[in-house]
Chains A and B, each alone.
Chain A
């Protein structure tokens, strides 16, 4: 191919810098905490609390926007594929961080929004952030039942 030939004749220079490396957004702590808050708000009981197990499943889905249509089809029984997931240490880390910083509280396996959490939700609403995530959560809200979670996690 012509392009390959052109590349062959160009001299490449290696540059070393300490700029750092790009980070996928789901590894940013505040992004995951934000996702947890909107999950409690959209799916949780009274919009304020959510079982920690359900949180883990929802977060697994939310950070994979490329697969949303598959998850939707599966939950609405349009396809036979069942969600397969494993443990995500980043989620646990984010939960612990959120609890430490007052975004969430943990009460016997149930996460409840904390003061900081409400503030963050307020900001999210004001800035109209996470709109597609919220839209996805609302579309599957009724299908993500306790039984569904048990089936996925094998409890």
Chain B
């Protein structure tokens, strides 16, 4: 299906000298614009892309795809070099879509570049923006020109992913380089001017798939998904093997792998083998054997019969030591008390001794009439009761005799306490001695039993040691065996998944040769070979050419054709492939073609005249089928005439004149 038919192009530059413009009508079949170099030929060709908002396909450096005659100044002719300054310039392109709907696009070159005004046949118009408005681009917003243009073409561009895996879509700029061969870079390879700045993964192939209608994005996405899944499964599988391998190395085992992902049915993947003398045994039977040996050893093992006895004796010894401690504390208490009583008694005894001296003084003094008792004050005659201290009214001090008796009692009282405590001390000492004897006796028994135990261990200890060693080994092996089971369960799960997904993958891959795309590619190959034959392709036998399933581009013996072709043959390939796409667009409804191809200076590298003649012939033969071929060339008028093109629409600009001409004011 052809998307567009170009009707007319008008390029206008408004200067201080008046309006300069040119109008080029287009027809079905071959359209040739002939002008000598530097006269504005490429300006016209580029204007087609520019009017469609497709500046990007003119090459990465074409920020301003126009010469200064469109935005600075122009000269009225090559003879008159007076500059006329440009105040405004714009291009207008009239087109028709597949259902015959007319539209005219007008876009400023000098002025508001980010806007395309769309006119319908009644002259009503609407503005659409280009580039991006905020975060939404022209292709995604309803007010964007490319959004409108995509629907005008009745195309539905697919959703794709970027190299980073983010969702994006195929843009119109990515498709049109298939139809538009610009002069500077366009001849260097197929799809030379496909923009890469969108970061779309496989953008050239996606553009071709879209154009040829062989795209099956669901299938393609599923294929990519399945490839990722199977690659993950392989990684997990390898991870199991590497974990098992480190575990085996750590545990002194040998690792045996008994299955691969490719095997049809699953066998346990991981087997740990235990080294045993000069051979290896599988871990599980080896473990059962060890467990049997361990049970035997456990049932035959002898335990020392006196363990309880020793612990009872030790407990008893501890209790006695506690008793001994508490006795020692009591003993200390009594010793302190005896000491205190001793001091007290000696102090009282001193006082008693002095009182006895006083009593003798009293006794003898009274015998010799010496007054030794002072009972009243010699000055005031008040009672003194034989005391230097003040005597309270209710109670009086003891007399000397009474005081002596009192002191005697005191001595007896404290001596009594002291004696009793001394008696208690003797008793405690005896108890303490008894306890110490008992403790020594028990310690002796314990020592004897310990000697017996040492002898017992010497005799039967080997079995005990073996038991402990075996228990450790068995525990280690149980862990390994359980790991082995884990690994195998995971591996089995992975194997099942692998089987499921690889089956789906195989089926999908097989399908790709049966579907409709196969026929399209076959047709593309046929057209390409026909064209190459017609255009005089020489490098290799064109019948060996294939359309690569991977790239959808022509390849020879598995290599991209550019590598093996001469420069002029490569130009023929670009002619042939580009025209073949147009032909498919005419004949196949599933092929989405822009409807026209543009060849700017197609006679590159001095391609021979007959080949070029064939190209022009072929192009003009498309007149009836509806496709448009637009060729811009600088060849001489004589040469052009020599091709005797009867069915072509040829626009000739004479040498020495510019394409932009001053408009004649009718008024």
Q: Which residues of B sit under 8 angstroms from A148, Cβ to Cβ?
A: none
- In the complex, A100 Cα to B382 Cα: how many Å? 14
**CB of A94 closer than 8 Å to a CB of B:** yes
Partner of A25, one of B333, B351, B371: B351
**CB of A11 closer than 8 Å to a CB of B:** no
Output the nearest chain B residue to A99 by Cβ-Cβ distance. Answer: B378
Partner of A20, one of B372, B374, B377, B397: B397
The residue in B333, B361, B402 that gathers the most chain A C-beta atoms within 10 A of its C-beta is B361
B387, A29: Cβ atoms under 8 Å? yes
**CB of A101 closer than 8 Å to a CB of B:** yes
Partner of B361, one of A1, A66, A93, A123: A123
Output the nearest chain A residue to B398 by Cβ-Cβ distance. Answer: A20
A28, B395: Cβ atoms under 8 Å? no
Partner of A90, one of B360, B377, B388, B397: B388
How far apart are A20's CB and chain B's nearest CB, in angstroms?
Answer: 4
Partner of B397, one of A22, A26, A129: A22
- In the complex, A2 Cα to B424 Cα: how many Å? 9
Interface-forming stretch among A30-38, A47-55, A70-78, A105-113? A30-38
**Known interface pairs A28-B386, A29-B388, A96-B379. Does A22 touch B398 (Cβ–Cβ under 8 Å)?**
yes
**Known interface pairs A30-B361, A32-B388, A66-B347. Does A3 touch B420 (Cβ–Cβ under 8 Å)?**
yes
A24, B351: Cβ atoms under 8 Å? yes
**CB of B19 closer than 8 Å to a CB of A:** no
Residues 51-102 (chain A) with a chain B CB within 8 angstroms: 65-66, 90, 93-94, 96-97, 100-101
Partner of B370, one of A1, A26, A97, A120: A120
Partner of A28, one of B333, B377, B387, B407: B387
The residue in B371, B373, B379, B387 that gathers the most chain A C-beta atoms within 10 A of its C-beta is B387
B384, A29: Cβ atoms under 8 Å? yes
**CB of B257 closer than 8 Å to a CB of A:** no
**CB of A126 closer than 8 Å to a CB of B:** yes
**CB of B518 closer than 8 Å to a CB of A:** no
Q: Which residues of A sit under 8 angstroms from B330, Cβ to Cβ?
A: 1
**CB of B368 closer than 8 Å to a CB of A:** yes
Q: Which residues of A sit under 8 angstroms from B148, Cβ to Cβ?
A: none
Q: Which residues of B sit under 8 angstroms from A22, Cβ to Cβ?
A: 397-398, 402-403, 406-407
A23, B368: Cβ atoms under 8 Å? no
- In the complex, A117 Cα to B429 Cα: how many Å? 57
**CB of A14 closer than 8 Å to a CB of B:** no
B357, A129: Cβ atoms under 8 Å? yes
- In the complex, A25 Cα to B330 Cα: how many Å? 37
Interface residues of A, dominant DSSP = helix
Q: Which residues of A sit under 8 angstroms from B220, Cβ to Cβ?
A: none
- In the complex, A18 Cα to B393 Cα: how many Å? 12
**CB of B358 closer than 8 Å to a CB of A:** yes
Residues 205-226 (chain B) with a chain A CB within 8 angstroms: none
B357, A123: Cβ atoms under 8 Å? no
A25, B388: Cβ atoms under 8 Å? no
**CB of B450 closer than 8 Å to a CB of A:** no
- In the complex, A65 Cα to B354 Cα: how many Å? 11
How far apart are B124's CB and chain A's nearest CB, in angstroms?
Answer: 125
**CB of B365 closer than 8 Å to a CB of A:** yes
Q: Which of the four size classes fits the interface of chain A?
A: 35 or more
**Known interface pairs A23-B403, A28-B400. Does A129 touch B372 (Cβ–Cβ under 8 Å)?**
no
- In the complex, A130 Cα to B357 Cα: how many Å? 8
Q: Which residues of B sit under 8 angstroms from A31, Cβ to Cβ?
A: 354, 358
Partner of B364, one of A18, A26, A94, A123: A123
**Known interface pairs A22-B397, A25-B355, A124-B361. Does A97 touch B378 (Cβ–Cβ under 8 Å)?**
yes
Q: Which residues of A sit under 8 angstroms from B407, Cβ to Cβ?
A: 22
Q: Which residues of B sit under 8 angstroms from A19, Cβ to Cβ?
A: 398, 402
**CB of B664 closer than 8 Å to a CB of A:** no
**CB of B396 closer than 8 Å to a CB of A:** yes
The residue in A23, A97, A126, A129 that gathers the most chain B C-beta atoms within 10 A of its C-beta is A23
Q: Which residues of A sit under 8 angstroms from B358, Cβ to Cβ?
A: 25, 28, 30-31
Output the nearest chain B residue to A3 by Cβ-Cβ distance. Answer: B420
**CB of B336 closer than 8 Å to a CB of A:** no
How far apart are B520's CB and chain A's nearest CB, in angstroms?
Answer: 119
The residue in A31, A120, A130 that gathers the most chain B C-beta atoms within 10 A of its C-beta is A31
How far apart are A131's CB and chain B's nearest CB, in angstroms?
Answer: 9
**CB of A12 closer than 8 Å to a CB of B:** no
A90, B389: Cβ atoms under 8 Å? yes
Residues 376-433 (chain B) with a chain A CB within 8 angstroms: 377-379, 384, 386-389, 395-400, 402-403, 406-407, 420, 424
How far apart are A94's CB and chain B's nearest CB, in angstroms?
Answer: 6
Output the nearest chain A residue to B379 by Cβ-Cβ distance. Answer: A100
**Known interface pairs A28-B388, A29-B387, A101-B371. Does A20 touch B396 (Cβ–Cβ under 8 Å)?**
yes
Chain B residues with CB under 8 Å of chain A are: 330, 333, 347, 350-351, 354-355, 357-358, 360-361, 364-365, 368, 370-374, 377-379, 384, 386-389, 395-400, 402-403, 406-407, 420, 424
A-B pairs, top 3 by smallest CB distance, nearest first, are A100-B378, A23-B397, A90-B388
Return 23 A-B CB contacts under 8 Å, by A number: A1-B333, A2-B424, A18-B395, A20-B396, A20-B402, A22-B402, A23-B389, A25-B354, A28-B386, A28-B388, A29-B384, A29-B386, A30-B358, A30-B386, A31-B358, A66-B350, A100-B378, A100-B379, A101-B374, A101-B378, A119-B370, A127-B360, A129-B357
